[in-house]
Amino acid sequence: MKPQAGLLNPTSELPSPFLIRRDKTPGQANLSKNCNSLPPLGSRVWPVFNSAKRVPPDIGQENYCEATLRTARASTQVSKKVLITGIGGQDGYFLTKLLLEKGYTIHGLLRRDSPKGRGSLEHLEQGKLEQVILHEGNVTSSDFIDELIRFSQFDEIYHLAAQSSVAQSIQHPRETIETNVLGITNIATAIRDKSPKTKLLFAGSSEMFGDIEESKQSESTHPHPQSPYGLAKELGFHLVNTYRKHYGIWAATAILFNHESEYRGDQFVTKKIIKAVVRIAGGQNECLSLGNMYVKRDWGYAKDYMQGLVLMMEQEEPDDYVFATGQLHTVKDFVNSAFGQAGISIDWSGESLDEIGSNQDTGEVIVRIDKKFYRPGEITGTCGDATKANKKLGWSPETNLETLISKMIEHEKQTSRPA
């Protein structure tokens, strides 16, 4: 049947970007009944006219279904079809770039009504964002996830979506558990039931280990989480292992130690430090307030770690891997390095809550300790052992802390300049 006049051309290029929505309107409900190949009340698979509109009246449902299916099929003729949940974060940005370079079709899941919009994807080079097929929805909705995975039959799913702030997880434990545990449960179950050939990679976290009880933490380290976030990541790790062993799906966990980048969210202490350093170095009269500066972290570069995830997914057999630098630094080390790279040396004086950092040249206090930034159950140190990833995947970190901080400072300078 030939499309009527005014129908979208199924051979034309997809609009920018190819956005898929999940709107439950009466018009869409009627459409789903008359088009058996489309998911009922689920993700649209056509360029959206308007999320509140029904099928255009001058087209007709049958022709609309036919054209949309042809458009969707024409857009997926590449080697692999991949879904990245949480695509708007720093990890999603780097992973998207890496997989686009491989020629994959990238589907990205963004949380509906997220205040961050497309997040870090906005920094993609011209022409890259147009290649990404974006979906709006929530990983906690089992109906939505079931239909998305059933209809799309992805080759690979990278599950990055999470409430990822430890501090926020302490303030909002229920939201953290719901998002982080229900999300991976819904995706793993949908793969098992709707798309068993899909490979699943879960982004885990070193927070599930808790404090260092040995020299370094590896895949065999016993978990001892000290926050709702760490607990949720431990549960996700065990769930992935259960689905792999009992249901036979390809599922693995990447245990990621702290990793930062120029696209880090403002809610993280590293980004808070960088933003304050750039403002102070630019002449603003400001003082950076921090909590415990003597906690130690193993900080790496997000791009390096996403390269590790790609290597994991390329393996024939699923397995879990730690990604870390194996180098420990305190928050105070991070502060000294950041200010130093901005041309400011700090003189430290005082102890505990009375410790302050002063600009060596001007004597102005630019760093203070504030008790309100101390966390209950704070982990004093995490340090990873990535030997397994190095031996089996050939992976090793390429970016040291000084270079990472330099990238963050330069990006902040560029993006904070007045228009």
Within-domain flag for 350: no
Predicted confidence at residue 375, as pLDDT, reads 83
Report the alpha-carbon distance of residue 79 to residue 291 in Å, rounded.
48
CA 75 from chain center: how many Å?
25
Q: How many domains in the chain?
A: 1
Q: How many CB atoms lie within 10 A of CB 355?
A: 16
CA distances from 356 to 17, 199, 339, 369 (A): 48, 50, 14, 7
Q: Residue 248 has which token pair? A: 């036979």
Calpha distance 269→260 (Å, rounded): 10
pLDDT at 58: 37
| Residue 256 to residue 159: CA distance in whole angstroms | 13
**Residue ranges in the chain whose pLDDT is less than 70:** 1-78, 115, 417-419
Q: Kindly list the distances between the CA atom of residue 95 and the CA atoms of 57, 119, 173, 182, in Å, as whole numbers in the listed order.
A: 40, 14, 28, 23
Domain that holds residue 127: 18-260+301-326+381-399
Query: 321: how many CB neighbours lie within 10 A of its CB?
Result: 24
- 319-331: pLDDT as tens digits: 999 999 999 999 9
- Residue 115 corresponds to which amino acid? P
CB neighbourhood size of 62 (10 A): 12
Asked whether residue 75 is assigned to any structural domain, the reply reads: yes
Contact call for residues 77 and 14 (beta carbons, < 8 A): no
The total of other beta-carbon atoms located within 10 Å of residue 163's CB is 19
Supply the pLDDT for residue 2: 35
Q: What is the pLDDT of residue 311?
A: 98
- Which CATH number characterizes residue 91's domain? 3.40.50.720
User: Within 54-172, where are the H helices?
Assistant: 61-74, 90-101, 142-152, 166-171
Output b/e per residue, 284-299; b: 16+ Cβ within 10 A: eeeebebbbbebbbbb
What does the block give as tokens for 397? 């970190």
Q: What is the pLDDT of residue 248?
A: 96
Please tell me the distance from the alpha carbon of residue 33 to that of residue 372, in angstroms, as a whole number: 55
Say if 405 falls within a structural domain: no
Residue 211 maps to a domain: yes
In-domain check, residue 2: no
Q: How far is CA 336 from CA 216, 262, 333, 416, in A?
A: 25, 18, 5, 21
Closest CA to 147 of 21, 15, 17: 21
Separation between Cα atoms, residue 27 and residue 380, nearest integer Å: 55
Please report the pLDDT score of residue 376 as a whole number. Answer: 81
For residue 17, whether the previous peptide bond is cis, meaning omega lies within 30 degrees of 0, is yes
CB-CB contact of 192 with 141 (8 Å):
no
Nearest to 36 by CA among 60, 66, 1, 81: 66
List all residues 6 or more positions away from 75 whose beta carbon is below 8 Å from its beta carbon. Answer: 14, 18, 105, 133
Strand partners, 20: 135
- 198-234 exposure pattern, b = at least 16 Cβ within 10 A, e = fewer: bbbbbbbbbbbbbebeeebbbbebebebbbbbbbbbb
In-domain check, residue 342: no
Q: Is residue 190 part of a domain?
A: yes
Contact 187, 145 (CB under 8 A): yes
In a domain, 1, yes or no: no
